[in-house]
Amino acid sequence: MKYDTIIIGGSEAAFASGLILADAGQKVAVISHGQTFLHCSAASLGLLGYDKDGNPVHNPVEAMAALPDSHPYSKIGVGRVCELAQDVKDLFVRSGIPMHGSYERNHYRMSPIGVFKPAWLSMDTSPVAASPDDVKTWGKVLILGIEGFLDFFAKFIASGLGAIGVNTEIRNISLPELSALRSGSTEKMRATNIARVIVSEKNIEDVALRINIAVESSHADTVVMPAVFGLSDPLFGVRLQSKLKCRLMFVPTMPVSVPGLCAKGRFESRFRQIGGTLFYGDTVSGGEFVDGSLKSVRTLNMAETALYADNFILATGNFINHGLVASPSGVSEPLFGLDIMPFAESGFTGSDFFSRQPYMKCGVATDSDFRVALNGNMINNFYAAGSILGGCDTLKEESGAGVEYISAIAVAKKILEKKGGLK
């Protein structure tokens, strides 16, 4: 089988590059063992939230100038990052997920435990404000939990909001539709299970009624609820909002989160719609390298069939996704044994969990076009994208989503710019 581009991995970078390439008319396949959409779990994406001293960044573009050369943004170039940032927003919009925000000015999102963190793009009904001080415009906030649902931390949110002078009240509503989950021994009261139950127009009416009753008696201006609705409908929140007497905000839960799963579903179905091929539950078992190029790959499920392509993208993620694997003797890339970026840090781990962890910067070795290398030789048609690039501490910087999506689109566009790449 022959493709224009084969993408290995199930990360958000894999889908982002896949969508760009397929949109441009390429024949694209994604081979993935499993999928993770961690960045979308928060319902907000970060571009660059904190500088190297940990201070919040107001203008990401300005702050990028201070990043070291090893940073993926520096490799792409700040001007180009800004262009691609716009593409990321478009990518979501085309997949049916409206995103709000600007790469020139961060806004703030409220985390599941009531902490405000800088953000670049946020989904509809995300709990966001222009600045932490601006949260006061939310007015009185009703923090509304769901009886039996434990992944919503009402007290922490109240404490976080209270610290910035916002008046709050905590209540619970009981949804009779969920009684099966409450007593069930296998299907628990988790966000995605609730979202599978609450889907119909009648469900929305019922939920809206209960919220309105609670809002009325509490005289709240804003209601904050766990993000447990709209698994396959990114506009569920907007529809619910239209039936409410106050502003509605959904606080994302810990993964697997509903916004994350919803985005994944949207990307997947659109990728299929525009002709992309998905090989799920399969793992690449090796590749055939000829004259500095990757000719084909083989997989465990299709052992007899080599999959050929003009270009390949490795988007298997970092340690979390097993795109990188550490052993007592060092770090490796498990599928091809690609070269790893020299490790400049003094130790691999830090004893204080909440300080910087050096291992966060691990990644595969690449050139400035993100082409990977094997045994010291650059592979001219094999690119890396997303968190496997390493080179920065995306968690301390709040830049994980930006690096994930922007590097993926950068690589996809690089492939399209190649002679004969665009069909």
Q: Which amino acid is residue 99, in one-letter code? A: M
Residue 101 or 252 having the CB closest to other proteins: 252
> Which amino acid, one-letter code, is at 347?
G
Smaller CB distance to other proteins: residue 71 or 190? Answer: 190
Q: Are 398 and 6 in contact (CB under 8 A)?
A: no
Site for other proteins in 48-87 (CB under 8 A): none
Query: Please, which residues have CB within 8 angstroms of residue 236's CB and are 6 or more apart in sequence?
Result: 204, 229, 230
CB neighbour class for 329 (10 Å; exposed up to 12, middle 13-18, buried from 19): exposed
Q: Is 255:40 a contact under the CB 8 Å cutoff?
A: no
363 binds other proteins (CB under 8 A): no
By CB under 8 A, residue 41 contacts other proteins: yes
| 394 near other proteins (CB under 8 A) | yes
Q: Nearest distance from residue 296's CB to other proteins, in Å?
A: 29
Please give the single-letter amino acid code of residue 371. Answer: R
Contact 194, 181 (CB under 8 A): yes
Dist CA 74 CA 89 (whole Å): 21
Q: How far is the CB of 272 from other proteins (least distance, A)?
A: 28
173 binding other proteins? (CB under 8 A):
no
135, with CB counted inside 10 A (0-12, 13-18, 19+), is buried
Q: Does 326 bind other proteins (CB under 8 A)?
A: yes
Q: Does 112 bind other proteins (CB under 8 A)?
A: yes
Which of residues 80, 105, 117, 247 is near other proteins by CB under 8 A? 117
Beta strand segments in 174-219, E: none
Q: Which of 18, 101, 160, 363 binds other proteins (CB under 8 A)?
A: 160
The reply on whether position 254 binds other proteins by CB under 8 A is: yes
349 contributes a contact to other proteins by CB under 8 A: yes
- Residue 150 touching other proteins (CB under 8 A): yes
Please say which residue, 80 or 396, places its beta carbon nearer to other proteins.
396
Nearer to other proteins, 65 or 354 (CB): 354
Interacting residue with other proteins among 130, 213, 320, 422 (CB under 8 A) = 320
Rg (CA), the chain: 22
Burial of 171 (0-12, 13-18, 19+ CB in 10 A): middle
User: How far is 300 from 281, CA to CA, in rounded Å?
Assistant: 10
| Out of 68, 139, 184, 281, the residue judged to bind other proteins by CB under 8 A | 184
Among 351, 375, 376, 419, binds other proteins (CB under 8 A): 351
Q: How far apart (Å, rounded) are the C-alpha atoms in residues 118 and 166?
A: 19
Part of the chain binding other proteins (CB under 8 A), chosen from 17-25, 151-159, 295-303, 364-372: 151-159
For position 156 contacting other proteins by CB under 8 A, the verdict is: yes
Q: How many helices (H) and strands (E) does the chain have?
A: 13, 20
Residues in touch with other proteins (CB under 8 A): 38, 41-42, 111-113, 115-117, 147-156, 158-160, 163, 174, 182-185, 188-189, 252, 254-255, 318-322, 325-328, 348-349, 351-354, 357, 359-360, 394-396, 398, 400
